[in-house]
C-alpha cells in the first residue's frame, strides 16, 4: 500500500469490552440513521451494532468528520471536545457507568495496556492527519479513502469486484479528507473514466482494487 496512511475507521477493537458493557448495561438505545448519539459525562457508551461517524469542532465552530466507529467498539469519551456522534446506519448503543469502566481498566495491568493501545491508535491516527495534511495531494487522499472504504465496508462480488453500499456523502468525504466537495466529484469521475470504479445510485463498485492501489502509489506529493 501507499506511504499515505489514512485509516479513519475504528474497527473491532472493543471485543474485550463487550461482556463488560452487556453485564453492566444501565441503558440501551437504538439510534436511527442520521440521528445524533447522546453522550453523558458520567457514562461510557459502546456501539454494539451499526456504524457511527464522529465529527469534531475547533474553537471557532468549524466542524469536520474525523472518523468512523464500526460495531463492537467503545465510543471515545471526551465530552469536552466539541464532538458530535451521528449514526450512519441504525445503531445500537449500550451505556454503563463511568466508574464501572474505570474499575474495569484498573482491575489488571493487561486491561490498562489494552486501553492505552486503543487510545494510542486514535492518537496516532490524529497525529498522522497533522503530519500528512499538507503533504499529500487531494486526489491521493480521496483515492486512499475509497481504497480503505472498499477494504473495510466493501463486499466482494464476482470477478474480485467490491461493492460499497451506503457510500458516504460527498460532503462527508470532502470533510474527512479536508478538501472541497467539487474535488470529490471530480476525482471520483476520473476514477470512473479510467474504469477503476463504477457509480450507481447510493453505491459504488470498485472494479479493480489492485489498479486503485497502484494509482495511489504513483501519486506525487503536493509539494
- Residue 135 sits in the site that holds its own copies (CB under 8 A): yes
- Report the alpha-carbon distance of residue 49 to residue 19 in Å, rounded: 14
- Residue 4 sits in the site that holds its own copies (CB under 8 A): yes
- Report the alpha-carbon distance of residue 144 to residue 121 in Å, rounded: 19
Report whether 196 contacts 211 (CB < 8 A). yes
Among 29-37, 51-59, 163-171, 204-212, the segment contacting its own copies (CB under 8 A):
51-59
* Residue in 22, 30, 127, 203 binding its own copies, rule: CB under 8 A: 127
- Residue 154 in grid coordinates: 466493501
- Residue 187 sits in the site that holds its own copies (CB under 8 A): no
* Residue in 26, 57, 166, 169 binding its own copies, rule: CB under 8 A: 57
- Residue 106 sits in the site that holds its own copies (CB under 8 A): yes
* Residue in 11, 16, 25, 64 binding its own copies, rule: CB under 8 A: 64
Sign of CA pseudo-dihedral 6, 9, 10, 15: negative
Q: Which is nearer to its own copies, 112 or 203 (CB)?
A: 112
- Residue 58 sits in the site that holds its own copies (CB under 8 A): yes
State how far the alpha carbon of 83 is from the alpha carbons of 28, 124, 138, 142, 218, in Å. 21, 19, 25, 23, 35
Cβ neighbours of residue 150 under 8 Å, at least 6 residues apart?
162, 164, 206, 209, 212
Site for its own copies in 74-93 (CB under 8 A): 78, 80-81
Q: Which is nearer to its own copies, 107 or 189 (CB)?
A: 107
Helix (H) / strand (E) element for 90: namely strand 83-97
Contact residues for its own copies (CB under 8 A)? Answer: 3-5, 56-60, 62, 64, 66, 78, 80-81, 99, 102-103, 105-109, 111-113, 119-120, 122-124, 126-135, 178, 221
Amino acid at each position: 500500500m501507499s506511504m499515505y496512511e489514512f485509516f479513519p475507521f475504528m474497527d473491532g477493537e472493543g471485543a474485550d469490552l463487550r461482556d463488560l458493557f452487556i453485564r453492566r448495561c444501565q441503558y440501551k438505545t437504538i439510534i436511527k440513521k442520521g440521528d445524533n448519539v447522546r453522550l453523558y459525562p458520567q457514562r461510557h457508551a459502546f456501539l454494539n451494532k451499526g456504524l457511527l461517524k464522529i465529527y469534531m469542532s475547533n474553537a471557532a465552530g468549524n466542524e469536520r468528520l474525523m472518523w468512523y466507529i464500526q460495531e463492537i467498539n467503545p465510543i471515545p469519551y471526551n465530552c469536552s471536545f466539541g464532538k458530535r456522534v451521528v449514526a450512519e446506519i441504525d445503531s445500537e448503543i449500550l451505556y454503563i457507568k463511568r466508574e464501572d469502566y474505570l474499575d474495569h481498566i484498573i482491575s489488571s495491568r493487561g486491561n490498562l495496556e489494552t486501553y492505552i493501545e486503543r487510545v494510542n491508535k486514535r492518537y496516532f491516527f490524529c497525529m498522522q492527519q497533522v503530519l500528512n495534511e499538507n503533504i499529500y495531494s487531494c486526489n491521493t487522499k480521496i483515492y486512499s479513502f475509497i481504497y480503505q472504504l472498499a477494504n473495510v465496508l466493501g463486499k466482494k462480488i464476482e470477478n474480485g469486484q467490491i461493492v460499497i453500499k451506503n457510500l458516504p456523502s460527498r460532503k462527508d468525504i470532502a470533510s474527512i479528507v479536508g478538501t472541497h466537495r467539487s474535488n470529490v466529484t471530480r476525482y471520483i469521475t476520473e476514477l470512473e473514466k479510467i474504469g477503476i470504479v463504477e457509480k450507481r445510485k447510493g453505491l459504488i463498485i470498485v472494479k479493480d482494487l489492485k489498479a486503485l492501489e497502484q494509482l495511489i502509489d504513483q501519486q506525487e506529493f503536493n509539494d
